[in-house]
Chains A and B, each alone.
Chain A
Amino acid sequence: MHRRVSRRGSVIYLAGLIGLYFSASSLSLQAAESQALSTQLIAYNCFSCHGEAGVSKTRSLSLKGLPAAYLTQALRDYKAGTRPGTVMPRLAKGYTEAELLAVARYFAALK
């Protein structure tokens, strides 16, 4: 618990330090944080069918740790309608290319 708190604290403190060192506006930093959270929320919606943290208990695919290139291609193909599926061709069309790429990277990075 304490470690997790420390990390969060680090992020906030880090934000300030980077601001000092690089004169980055706090606005762009906020935007970066917000974008990471936005990706996280997309991924959390995937959990509902693909299992918490991408670990499925059932027939739907576990996404955790799959290669980013594979996930990106699968999502692009679903969006384009060139990969068969039941629900995913409909859901993939709801996201931008950048969002699909970010969420693919998110699951690929889960250890």
Chain B
Amino acid sequence: MSELTRRNFLKLAGGSALGLGLAGCVAELPVNNHSGKRVVVVGGGFGGATAAKYLSRFDPNIQVTLVEPNPQYYTGPASNWVLGGLRTYQSIALNYEALHSRHGVQVVQDQVIGIDPTQRTVRLQKGDSLPYDRLIMAPGIDFRWQAIEGYDEKVSADMPHAWRGGPQLELLHKQLLAMKNGGLVVISIPAPPYSGMAAPYERASLIAHYLKQHKPKSKILLLDASDSFADETLFRAGWKTLYKYGKSKYGSSRGLIEWMPASKGGTLHSVSAKTRVLRSAAGTHWANVANVIPPQQAAAIAIKTGLSDASGWCPVNPRTWESRRIPGIHVIGDACYADPLPKTGFAANSAAKVCAAAVVALLNERAFDGPSWVNTSYSLIGPQYAISNAMVYKLDAQQRLIAVAGAGGPSAESNNKQLESVYADSWYQNLTADAFG
């Protein structure tokens, strides 16, 4: 890649013959003037993995260390495909071997317990301390456990959130497989922002797909703390086509999915784990399977370090993704406040590339301007019925991140849903390879 940069540069500098001649003269010069710079990346999701990889791609001279407590990463994208029976649980597990072997990233399996922004060190649970010149935080989200009465980490063993891969996803899947025909699945959806753009609604769709095949007398109730959601029109149309969504002529909800918005009392207030009861303003709901997705905020380590503000998320300068609160620390992915860029794996991957370029430019005192970002999110409503939402983001004159007017948006209603489902699979494979491969 650096070769291509050079070629582009030469072209722009005007006259490749001259350029080659000069490059020939300077090939022998010492060039280690920016060696030994250390960047630590905290968190091995889409943001962190992509940042580590692209840092070494932009400048192989930088020592890149990725700190991540788990040996494997279960992706958020495609996790609902597992619940629908379209993929195996193991097929969404990624590891960090390629980051090390292909890109020279040092991967440390440990938990960060503290950050000292003055000394510029990261303290690890096992006792080590890592010095950094620049730190990239990609720790993701944590739950606001106190927000729903009766729901905490212990209760999530009975009423899984299934929001961050791993055992929780497997638990929800097992509960769905064990549920009787005619059971009620309740999914509670928090007020935004939360990680995953339309993920709760894709989840409802693919659980409906499973129930339609195996337990057709069952029902899914969505208790929603919002009155609208991403790609709502497209989801409703898909649910109608595939799962008989809508009201009967007597006004009752029919089909596999019922959506209860906040204005109809959908906001979840409390749960009782023993009886599997969920309470909202609309009443009491007895669930056979309860999937409680709690309200969210930036991961605890980001908050503890002082990177977040009153919103619970971390404000950044989007040009460099450097924290607006602590210099030398960049925050990417779900933990940061980067509205209108959504909290998705794809957006984190895009932000990580810009952040890596900015960090390399800052460390090498080089020019850096004109970044842009992309998000493309696919949702499967059925195995062969997918929709997408895409957008290009740039900086405006005030250096604020904005969605480009006239671009992007949800799929056209006339889009071929089957073709989009083929691209959804393609998107997942290329995105994961780009971030972790």
**Chain B residues near A60 (CB, 8 Å)?**
423, 426-427, 430
Once A14-B22, A42-B372, A86-B416 are accepted as A-B contacts, the answer to whether A9 and B354 lie under 8 Å apart by CB is no
CA distance A48 to B429 in the complex (A): 9
Let me know if B409 and A90 touch, CB within 8 A.
Answer: yes
Question: B126 within 8 Å of A by Cβ?
Answer: no
Is there contact, CB below 8 Å, between B367 and A41?
no
Expressed in whole angstroms, the minimum distance between the Cβ of A73 and any Cβ of chain B is 19
Do A49 and B376 contact each other (CB < 8 Å), given the known contacts A34-B368, A60-B430?
yes
Contact: A87 with B23, CB < 8 Å? no
Is B29 in the interface zone, CB < 8 Å from A?
yes
User: Is A70 at the interface (CB under 8 A from chain B)?
Assistant: no
B406 and A91 contacting across the interface, CB-CB below 8 Å: no
What number of A-B contacts does a CB cutoff of 8 Å give? Answer: 193
Task: Give A31 to B367 CA distance when docked, in angstroms.
Answer: 7
Total chain B interface residues with beta-carbon distance under 8 A = 71
Compute how far the CA of A58 lies from the CA of B433 in the bound complex, rounded to whole angstroms: 11
Complex Cα distance A42/B408, Å? 15
Q: Confirm or deny: B265 has a beta carbon within 8 angstroms of a beta carbon on chain A.
A: no
Task: Please tell me the number of chain A residues within 8 Å of chain B, measured between CB atoms.
Answer: 55
Interface positions of A from 29 to 84, Cβ below 8 Å from B: 29-42, 44-45, 47-53, 56-60
Known A36-B12, A45-B372; contact A90-B7, beta-carbon cutoff 8 A: no
Residue of B nearest to A29 (CB): B13
Chain A residues with CB below 8 A from B422, complex form: 59
Give residues 37-64 of B contacting A (CB, 8 Å). Answer: 54, 59-61
CB–CB A18/B13 < 8 A? yes
Question: How far is it, in angstroms, between the C-alpha of A106 and the C-alpha of B411 when the chains are bound?
Answer: 28
A94 pairs with B408, CB closer than 8 A: yes
The CA-CA distance from A49 to B349 in the complex, in Å, is 11
Complex Cα–Cα for A14 and B22 (A): 7
With A and B bound together, what is the CA distance between A31 and B370 in angstroms?
A: 10
Using Cβ atoms and an 8 Å threshold, which residues of chain A touch B392?
Answer: 91, 93-95
Q: Cβ of A48 and Cβ of B374 under 8 Å apart?
A: yes
Distance, CA A4 to CA B350, complexed state (A): 24
B369 an interface residue at 8 Å Cβ cutoff?
yes
Q: How far is the CB of A44 from chain B (nearest CB, A)?
A: 5
A contact set with B: CB distance below 8 Å: 1, 4-15, 17-18, 29-42, 44-45, 47-53, 56-60, 86-87, 90-95, 99, 106, 109-110
In the complex, besides A9-B29, A37-B368, 6 extra interface pairs with C-beta distance below 8 angstroms are A10-B29, A14-B23, A14-B26, A48-B431, A58-B429, A91-B392
Q: Can you report 23 residue pairs joining A to B where beta carbons are below 8 Å apart?
A: A5-B32, A8-B2, A10-B22, A18-B22, A32-B12, A34-B368, A35-B370, A36-B9, A37-B357, A37-B368, A37-B370, A38-B369, A45-B353, A48-B349, A48-B350, A48-B431, A57-B429, A60-B430, A87-B376, A87-B423, A93-B407, A94-B392, A109-B4
